[in-house]
Structure 1
Amino acid sequence: MANVNQALTHQMIAREAAAMLVEENTVIPNINTSREREFGEEVNGYKKGDTVRVMVPPVPVTFSGSVFAGGGNAPSTNETSVNLTVDQQEHVALTFTAKEKKLELSEFKERFLRPAMNSLSSKVNSILLAEMVKKTPNVVGTWGSVPNTRTTWRSADSSLSRFLAPNDMRYSHFSLDASDALAEANAALFHDGKEIRGEFSDNAVGRFANLDFFEQLSLPVHTNGAGTGYAVNGAGQTGSTLAVTTGTGALTRGTVFTIAGVFSVHPITGVSTGKLRNFVVTADYAGGAGNVSIFPAITPTSSTLIGTVNASPAAAAAITIFGTASSSALQNLVFQKNAFASAFAPLPVLASCEGYTATTKGISVRVMTFGDGKNDLENTRIDVLFALPAAIRADHAVRVTQ
């Protein structure tokens, strides 16, 4: 039914825009965007650079023996929170006249709003995924080769299981090339038969190896620096920096490497998995002897502590960088929903402007119109303000390189 004598309002447009971003985006629904109650009660809205909190589910802890909590205090089972800085503001610009405002809402959505939100959604996806990949140390696949068998994706799922990621809400965001290769090799794998339609999101293209698969056009490409030949400078190192020597060449943020003799451990028992621990470089490193920033921190497991590794690296232990020096490879990403957290904060409508900020399932979108009296124009912008994702449980994610 047409909007007779009723122009489209900013409220109507903002609500539809927020709903589209939530329902049709392929990344935002897959990460943790829960927030503290007071976050949504900020009546004046947030500005770029503000800090907000998002909720983090607790990690259950087990104890041995009959004594409650091993004689100590049981950890809180309440959700904790992490501070995020909402410093990413993206918008799409529109110009529509009184004539367009008289359109039926459904017609306006298809002609103007959906194309605009598709562009905005794609840009947001690229920013989120690029940051998520840079914070993910675990990786499977072969550098420079499109994964075209089930084995690679099973390995990705196994990586999540190895670090006790919950079995539900596991997602794979993969390239069109990877999608084509896997579908070609397994013609019956991806289909929309009624018997499996209820098992995954309508935006997913299929389900396999406990993963919902989403075709993704915004996957990042990681470029390794020229770094090579590095070794550990001194035994017994711990923490989030690693002293290195011998090697040459830059190490770029997001580069993955292993250290000889340093293995990952079971998160509960602390027993070595027999697999070398993956580390990721967290800040660009110019090269040569010095201190490289890494994640996770080197925390050796002991009789009183379940750490991240079986032991500190030995002096002169060889460092092996994943991939080829000075080359690039696209990064698919597999992760459990609570591996990452972000926040989409409500923006205020500025003075002398007309607009509305709508929030759907924690995702806020502002629609705001302002006039250009000098040129007799009316401009409308649709904005989102959000934080780069924090790695809440980075081991519950894994790259699938290609």
Structure 2
Amino acid sequence: MANNLINNSIITREALMIRRNTNDYVQNVNREYQAQFARTGAKIGDTINVRLPNDYVVQDGPTVNPEATAERSIPLTISYRKNVPMSFSTQERTMNIDDFSERYIAPAVNALVGQVAMDAMTMALSASNMVLNTDDTGNLIAPSSNTWLRAKAILTACNAPLDDRYAVLDPMTDANTVSGMMGMFNPTGQISRQTVDGQMGSKILGVRGWMQDQTVIISQTGSYDGTGTATGTYGNYTPNGAPVTTISASASPHSSVISTSALSGTLKQGDVITIAGVNRINRVNKSSLHILQQFVVLADVASGATSIPVSPAIIPPSGTGPVPYQTVDAAPAAGAAIKLVAPAGSVIRRNLLYSKRAMTLATVDLEMVDRGVVDCGRASLDGISLRTLTYYNGSDDTRATRLDVLYGFGMLRPDWAVVVPELVE
């Protein structure tokens, strides 16, 4: 009887098929920039700059005042390398592929893709919007249909595309959301899925897909007591934390640093704050929406600190009117109160409603190794590139196999993502 050897190409394809059924969130983020990396291999740290759409201001009358076009971009860096090592005997590698998949490939892929998803989920810490559901006494409670509709309205106000919105929920939030909205929806098929499967269906409340994922971030908000105020000074924020005192075309389009009075209590990365008198605008016509603009804190801030790094960047109008890339209707005034959106010290599940184009993920083909190894396979499915490599260890007469993925991600539009928190009790 002929041997039924399982080569690495079979392992790779089988692993990718299992991955397809493992994580919806990883499948539903933008991938359009992946092709710009070398398909035959890339070095960790390779970066491309993703251009953001240009922003212009409409002028009145027949006379024009030409504006310089200042393009802005966000870096996408391939900086993550993860692997799962496995060791097989010759007998194990000749087993039926179904048993092999169940016993070895499935657990390995689940661990590997779970780590990719967990890394990608950290992008939720850059989401600059938050919508709460509270009871009559202000306590944070599970999201309702109204909560999700208000979150969707914020995406629309931020000019996020209407056709590619997704929600990713912690399993407990998913259960509470389904329980709270069960029976509300038509057509009958959607009600059936909620009742039979016990989870949110697709295309409900204008959301294209609802996903539950155990890698949804659970975090605790800072202890800041809400007594701090702005000093009226702000500038751009760079990754090393150094403030820049002027807004320039070459500066980060996403972040600013706000000078404040000494803060009482801490702020945590991912906390969302507001500044009195600083409102959202319609990003197209630059008119004020008369709703406080929300800002996400980009790094932990210690008690007693006098500055807060935030996103989006604070870009107010000039003295003559609207400006390109404007984000708010006014700069922070001296003495303006700074408030946390979520209650201080709350442990929350950071469920997310987002536009698929808010964030991007890229995986890169690792080199096919043909010397010094027993076998090497590489394949791509749904934009995820995976390589498997088997090598011989003469010291104990075994063959070891490793699954590798090389990837990077970036938050392109923090305002196209909304955190919908639920209190962990």
TM-score higher than 0.5 here?
yes
Q: Displacement of 1:31 after TM fit? A: 0.9
What TM-score do you get using the length of structure 2 for normalisation?
0.81
The residue correspondences of 1:234-383 to structure 2 (distance < 5 A) are 234-235=231-232, 237-239=234-236, 240-302=256-318, 303-306=321-324, 307-349=326-368, 352-353=372-373, 354-383=375-404
Aligned to 2:115, which of 107, 123, 128? 123
Q: What per-residue deviation string (whole Å, max 9, x for no partner) do you get for residues 63-110 of structure 1?
A: 46697998568899xxx9743222222222322222232234444334
2-structure distance, mates of 1:270, 1:241:
22
CA RMSD across the alignment: 3.2
Instruction: Give the structure 2 partner of residue 13 of structure 1.
Output: 11
Partner residue of 1:103?
95
Structure 2 counterpart of 1:153, one-letter code: W
- Gaps spanning 5+ residues in structure 2: where? 237-255
Cα distance between partner residues in 1 of 2:301 and 2:188: 49
How far is 1:278 from its partner? 0.7
For 1:32, the equivalent position in structure 2 comes to: 30
Query: Relative to structure 2, which stretch is displaced further, 313-322 or 111-120?
Result: 111-120
Deviations 1:264-307 (A, max 9, x none): 11111111112111111112222314222111111102424151
Runs of 4+ in 1 over 6 A off after TM superposition: 65-70, 73-76, 190-193
Asked if structure 2 preserves the Cα contact closer than 8 Å seen for 1:190 and 1:207, the reply is no
One-letter identity of the residue aligned with 2:401:
T
What's the CA shift string for 1:315-373, capped at 9, x where partnerless?
Answer: 01110012233332111011011100121122235662332222234321111122332
Size of the aligned set, in residue pairs, is 388
TM-score by length of 1: 0.85
**Residues 375 and 181 (structure 1), Cα distance of their counterparts in 2 relative to 1, 3 Å cut:** same
2-structure distance, mates of 1:356, 1:107: 20
Contact 1:259–1:317 (8 Å) recurs in 2: yes
In 1, Cα distance between the equivalents of 2:301 and 2:289? Answer: 29
Q: 2:217 aligns with which of 220, 226, 242?
A: 220
Q: Which residue of 2 aligns with 1:394?
A: 414
Identity %: 27
Summarize the Cα distance change of 1:114–1:205 in structure 2 as closer, same or farther, 3 Å threshold: farther
Task: Give me the whole-angstrom Cα distance separating, in 1, the residues matched to 2:104 and 2:56.
Answer: 51
Q: Which residues of 2 match residues 51-130 of structure 1 at below 5 A?
A: 51-53=46-48, 58=53, 63=58, 82-129=74-121
User: Is the CA contact 2:81–2:405 (under 8 Å) kept in the aligned structure 1?
Assistant: yes
- For the 8 Å contact 2:132–2:342, the answer to whether it is kept is no
Contact conserved, 1:359 with 1:365, CA < 8 A, in 2?
yes
Work out whether 1:141 is the aligned partner of 2:135: no
**2-side partners of 1:156 and 1:293: how far apart?**
24
* Offset, 1:310: 0.6
SS in 1 for 2:377: strand
Partners of 1:121 and 1:205 in 2: CA distance: 23
For structure 1, the residue ranges without an aligned partner over 5 or more in a row are: none
Q: CA deviation at 1:395?
A: 0.9
| Aligned twin of 2:252 | none
The answer to whether the aligner puts 1:186 opposite 2:186 as a matched pair is no
